[in-house]
Every structure is written in C-alpha cells, then in structure tokens.
Amino acid sequence: MKQKLEALILRAVETLKNDGVLAGDLSPNIILEHTRDPQHGDFASNLALMLAGPAQLKPRQMAEKIVAALPLESSVLRVEIAGPGFINFFMNPDSQYQIIKKIHEEGNCFGLSEVGAGQKVQVEFVSANPTGPLHVGHGRGATYGSVVADLLQAVGFEVHREYYVNDAGRQMDILAASIWLRYMEECGEVLPFPSNGYRGDYIREIADDIHNTSGNEYRRPVELVLEDLPPDEPLGGDKETHIDALIDRVKTLLGSAAYQDFFQIGLKTIIRDIKADLSEFGVTFQTWFSERMLMDNGAIGQALARLQESGYLYKKEGATWFASSRLGDEKDRVVVRDNGQSTYFASDIAYHMNKLDRGYDRIINVWGADHHGYIPRVRAAMQALGADESRLTVLLVQFAVLYRGEEKVQMSTRSGEFVTLRQLRNEVGKDAARFFYVMRRSEQHMDFDLKLATEKTNENPVYYVQYAYARVCSVLRQLDEKGLSRDSLLGMDSLEQLKETHELSLMGLLTRYPEVLQKAALNYEPHQLINFLRELATEFHTYYNAHQFLVEDTALRNARLNLITAVKQVLSNGLGLLKINTPEVM
RNA sequence: GCGCUUGUAGCUCAGCUGGAUAGAGCAUCGGCCUUCUAAGCCGAGGGUCGCAGGUUCGAGUCCUGCCAAGCGCGCCA
C-alpha cells in the first residue's frame, strides 16, 4: 500500500521534471508516513516542503503542482493539501479490507519479508565469562541479542548466533584455584580463602562433586600451600599479587594434569549450567566459540603475522604492540606481553579475523556498555587486517540497575552477592523477564524493579498484551457455547460491513505490522515491536469494550470474527518472535 | 582531564531518523460489570523536552558551548 503510493509520487515527480518545474538532476528522498491524526488522512508526505526551495515556489504552490501531476488510482480516495504544505492521502476503505484476507492467507508467515536478501549475518552476544552463573545483567544482553537475531532472520537475513567463551586467561585460573580451595575444605582442611577468589555456592557444589568422585586424591598439605605466600589484602598485602602466587602454588602442588582436571571440570560444569539456563530462557546459539581453541590452533599467531605483514606491529619494552593509534584508537595496544603471553585483545583480533574469514556480510557484536572503550581498537584491528570495518556493528546494552522497591541491589560476581538470571526467571517467569528486558531501547539505562516484576499485578505490561490474545480465544469459545456458527468465507465477503472507527483503525494498525518488523530489525530496536504489540492490544481492548462481536447479524458477526482472528494472528506472530507465550486462557 | 552513553509529565519510558496541537503506562481524581473474561474501557489534571545559543519554512530530534548522571580510559578479561 505504502509502496504503491510511493510509486505514484515518484511518477508525479518525473512528470514535473519533464515539464521543467523541477530540475532534472533532482532525486528527492520521498518520505511518506502514517499519520498520527486521522484528520490528516492515512498517509502524509512532506515532499512539497522539501522541493519548494529548489523549485523556487511557495510550499503550498509546490504541493498543488505535485497533486496535479499525481496519476489517478482507485485505491486513493482523495488527496488534500494541508498546513504549511503537507500532502495528505485518504485511502479507499475497500483497500484496507485486503489486509484481513492477507493475514488469514499468510498465517504465521504474515509480516516476514526478504529485505535481508539472504545476507549472512553473525550475531555474537552474551559471551559472559564462564566463571559463574549468569546474573540479571547478562539477561538483558541475552534477550536483546537473541531478539535482534530473530528479527533479522524474520526479515530475510541468514543469521548465525554465537557465544564467545573466554575459557582462557587469568579469571579461569582464579576459578580453578577457588574450586580447589573449596575442595580442600571438603577434605577437612582449614585454610584462608583469598579475597579475590570466587565465593559463590556453585563453587562449593563443584568442589563437593569432585570430592565425592575422587575422595582425597587432590588433597595437599596446607603448610605447603601457604608457605611464603605474599599476604592477601586484609593482611596488608596486594590481593592480585597474592592470588597470582596462590595460583602458581596450586599448579605446582597439583601438577599440570591434575590442575587441568580442576580447570576443565569447573569450565564444563559452568558452561553446561549457562547453556541450560539460556535455553530455558529461549536463547540458543549455533556456535559456542572457544578462546582456547584460537590459542591452540595457532589462529592468534596467524592474526599477528597478518598485522606484522601490514606493518602494524612493533616491539617496545619487551612487549609486542599493535599500532592501533594510527587507525583511530586513542593509543597503541599490547598484543604480546613481555612474558611471552598474548593478551585478551590478541585473542579478539584472531576471533574477528576468523569471523571475517567465514565470509559474513555483517558482523554484529552485542556488548555491555562498559566495553564501549574497546570498540576503536577492534575497528583498528579489522582495518589492519585489510577488512572493511563497516561490516562490523557493535550494539551496546546498558546495564540494568536492580532495585527492590526503593532499595538498590548491589551486585558483585566475586562476592557471590548477585541475583542470578535463574532466580529472576523463577520469580517473574520467562515471559515477563523477556518482555521487560527488550521493552526499552538498549542504550537506555534501565531500572529493573524486582519487587514490581515479582508482584504479578496488572502493572506488568506483558499481561496486557497476552490478555488481548486470550480474549480473542475466549470469544471463539463463546461462539460454541452460544450455539452460533462461524463462516469465514461469508465473513470475507462481508468485510465492507466493518465501518466503525475502531475497526478501521485496527485494520490500519495490522497493515503496519510488516513495516514495524522491518524497522525494528534494520535498526536493531526490538522495543519497536513491543510498542506496536502494546498499541495493537490497546486498540483491540478498546474495540472489545465498544462493540459486541457475537451479534445476531450473520454477515457482520463473521466479518468481525475475521478481523479479531487477524488480530489474534498478528499478536501470535509478534509474541512468537519474542518467544513470549500466548496463553488461550488467563 | 579526555572519550562514549543518557537527560522528555510526580515515577518508568516512547517519540516512526527534521514535520502538523510532544504521547503511553504507573501514580492521583471521577465514571463503566444481569450483555463475548474489569489482568479491561471512558474521562480529568499533570510539560520551560537539562540550560543557552545556532542552522531553516519548521527543532524533543541536527551543530556548538555549558550543567548533571552512568560508564570507560591496564602488558585485566
């Protein structure tokens, strides 16, 4: 409908060019928008306001010329010039009715499109360190990333979802050491726990499992553990120095093989937990990409070699640096430390090279907003690798600040004082959690009030939308109870009976759904879909209160039933895309 | 100090990429259930769009400068 109008306007512009009213080289960007006010018709264009300047005419005169040049078309009822020079289009209601037929024909596919044209997109999201269960902060990135991926797929992109597992590096060593220390406690030993260690209960559970299967096999004398260790922070020392020394000690005492056992068991247990957690939350991945794999298969070396070839590496103070400042970064970055170990950034360069080599047209990283300072160096790396860095899009997700009523909830992974995603799901349910997480723009700081979300009151907007769906289902059940029949074909032939304002605006909304999907997908803005569904639910509830659907008049009844089942279909499609349930009874 | 993000009704947030009288939910107040589910609907009040300039037919939206909040500025990940 919209595209048809745009074509008409384009032809009018061509006509005016031929008539010499407009310069031939002018190629105006035709903006046609749905009106907010029905008095302004169904669509409005500001074209005359844009072209008045170049054509040296007053806006309203320009508008008159455009309207005069506009080809006649039966679906356009009339055209008006209004305000400073807007052109308002009033559509023939007959054309509106088509949307109901279209929705019934296309069913679950209504709204899907091919604007993505099969382009390959990789979306990397969550990628939380596997050092503990996901907390509510990760929940937002998980929901946002998965919905963005699903939206892109819905509009015709070929999407690959990926979780980057940071299974290398110091944090993992701290995890392994933490598990072993708890294991020692399981063996009956008493020893201090480092202030920097992971304190969560899940650490004890893992240690307990190991002790149950392996007994005291990994037990070592406490004196040897503590001998000559630099003091921890509470004792006036440095916590980082302390824990690094402790890790080295654990490695020595256990030996490399046994240490790896602890490391691997910890990693596998936590990954398994995260996977299950996300899966229950409706978030799945095609690939869990291991950072260690990049180290083991030489990918990091290859990436650094490519940077070397292009002349972006140099040595300084024993370390190897990447000259990222030559490509827009604030300063140069170390890729290989003076102790010979590559940095996390080096892994990430290799990871992005891997993504590029896999041939994605578009690479999307969903990151926590605290990582924004990291973006310029990754872009620099992509350029240095000879890639078009515009293929990379980084989407930042602000943290959700948790409240319980007025009280802010403090969180720290290491101290174990955090609300897990699983706890949140148990408290408020998957539907409400997902809905809340993507209800707001991702860059917007979000206050997540646990108390409010826990109370299952009608303040929870997800119920509002689900209730609209359940109401349609309820009407259909009533049909049987009242002994009335439904004749879908008769309804389709009687659509012109739908003349009420509520009915017309409801149809107008339904028409917009495919456009909303596209816009939400291409702008990476799931909240636009949420807003649309809320609006559709509102329109429906209003209609429900204003008119009876199950009326005696067979033609009208069936026409209305076709309309509200179309609403049901679109609610189902939208909520389905968000992986939110559509209960038939509430 | 530099950089990124944010600032819209009492609170939480939209605002369709520069359009017509800035919207919604919650909260407050007043109405609507013998009729398809009241987890609903109708109505009222509530605004210096952080502040000050600028760009143009037109600015919450764009540019500049301030103010405030959050985050980031490691040979951590």
- Enumerate the nucleotides of strand B whose atoms come under 7 Å of any protein CB: 3-7, 12-21, 24-27, 35-42, 56-58, 70-77
The pLDDT, as a whole number, for residue A135 is 87
The reply to whether ipTM tops 0.90 is yes
User: Is residue A489 exposed (0-12), middle (13-18) or buried (19+ Cβ within 10 Å)?
Assistant: exposed
The pLDDT, as a whole number, for residue A479 is 92
Q: Which nucleotide is nearest to A347 (CA to C1')?
A: B77
The pLDDT, as a whole number, for residue A558 is 97
Residue A146 scores a pLDDT above 90: yes
Residue A585 scores a pLDDT above 60: yes
The pLDDT, as a whole number, for residue A37 is 77
pLDDT, tens only, A94-113: 888 999 999 999 999 999 99
Q: Give mean pLDDT, residues A551-568.
A: 96
Look at A164-178, A224-238, A310-324, A548-562 and tell me which has the smallest mean pLDDT: A224-238
The string over A113-131, giving b where at least 16 C-beta atoms fall within 10 Å of a residue's C-beta and e elsewhere, is eeebeeeebbbbbbbbebb
What's the Å distance between residue A520 CA and nucleotide B72 C1'? Answer: 28
Q: What pLDDT band is residue A31 in, cutting at 50, 70 and 90?
A: confident
pLDDT, tens only, A58-68: 888 888 888 88
Higher pLDDT residue, A492 or A407? A492
Residue A457 scores a pLDDT above 80: no
The pLDDT, as a whole number, for residue A213 is 96
Q: Which nucleotide is nearest to A47 (CA to C1')?
A: B19
The pLDDT, as a whole number, for residue A401 is 73
Q: What pLDDT band is residue A303 in, cutting at 50, 70 and 90?
A: very high
The pLDDT, as a whole number, for residue A11 is 85
The pLDDT, as a whole number, for residue A35 is 83
Domains belonging to chain A, first-starting first, are 2-91 (3.30.1360.70), 457-577 (1.10.730.10)
Distance CA A3, CA A107 (A): 22
Residues 383-422 of A with CB under 7 A from strand B: 396, 398-399
Mean pLDDT rounded to a whole number for chain A: 90
Residue A482 scores a pLDDT above 80: yes
State whether the Cα torsion A334-A339-A340-A341 is positive or negative: negative
Residue A366 scores a pLDDT above 90: yes
The pLDDT, as a whole number, for residue A477 is 95
Distance CA A404, CA A411 (A): 13
Range A45-48 contact pairs with CB under 8 angstroms and sequence separation of 24 or more: A45/A9, A45/A86, A45/A87, A45/A89, A46/A85, A46/A86, A47/A9, A47/A13, A47/A87, A48/A81, A48/A85, A48/A86, A48/A87
The pLDDT, as a whole number, for residue A518 is 94
Residue A455 scores a pLDDT above 70: no
pLDDT, tens only, A82-96: 888 889 998 887 888
Residue A55 scores a pLDDT above 60: yes
Is A470 within 7 A of strand B by CB distance? Answer: yes
Q: Give mean pLDDT, residues A436-457.
A: 78
The pLDDT, as a whole number, for residue A41 is 84
Of the candidates A183, A316, A170, which has an alpha carbon nearest to the alpha carbon of residue A253?
A183
What's the Å distance between residue A533 CA and nucleotide B10 C1'? Answer: 27
Distance CA A248, CA A229 (A): 10
pLDDT, tens only, A263-287: 999 999 999 999 999 999 999 999 9
Q: What is the percentage of chain A residues whose pLDDT exceeds 70?
A: 95
Higher pLDDT residue, A446 or A524? A524
What's the Å distance between residue A51 CA and nucleotide B58 C1'? Answer: 14
The pLDDT, as a whole number, for residue A418 is 65
The pLDDT, as a whole number, for residue A458 is 63
The pLDDT, as a whole number, for residue A286 is 97
pLDDT, tens only, A409-443: 665 544 545 688 998 898 888 999 999 999 999 98
Is A552 within 7 A of strand B by CB distance? Answer: no
Q: Give mean pLDDT, residues A217-229.
A: 93
The pLDDT, as a whole number, for residue A27 is 64
